[in-house]
Amino acid sequence: MGDLKDPRWIYAKGFLFLGGAAIGASLVWAESPTVRSALLLAVTIWCACRFYYFAFYVIEKYVDGRYRFAGLLDFAGYLLRARPGRK
């Protein structure tokens, strides 16, 4: 399967991820509908989003501009090969 290039399909894929996240979060919260559960779920989602931003933007722009990541597994492989603090 090749790279996704059509902007309509890229948007569709993004909104499918958003929908999946919303459904998953709703089902988790439905299991324990408390303010505490909602806050913990919100913090978890926020931290996951920040990690994704770190993996795909911060590393490329501030640490190693030569490397482009194809996915989180590719990023993990990069971390295993890279030495911390190396430019």
Q: Could you give the count of Cα atoms lying within 13 Å of 5 in the half-sphere of its Cβ?
A: 3
For residue 46, give its domain range: 35-87
In a shared domain, residues 45 and 87: yes
Largest CA distance in the chain: 46
Number of structural domains the chain divides into: 2
Domain shared by 27 and 40, yes or no: no
Regarding whether 83 and 50 lie in a shared domain, the answer is yes
Q: Over the stretch 28-81, which tens digit does the pLDDT of each residue have?
A: 999 999 999 999 999 999 999 999 888 888 888 888 888 777 888 888 888 888
CA distance 71 to 12: 18
- Residues 44, 86 within the same domain: yes
33 vs 56: CA distance, rounded Å: 33
Tell whether 50 and 18 lie within a shared domain. Answer: no
Check whether residue 70 and residue 44 sit in a common domain: yes
Give pTM, 2 decimals: 0.69
51 and 39 in a single domain? The answer is yes
- In a 13 Å sphere around the CA of 70, the CA atoms on its Cβ side amount to 6
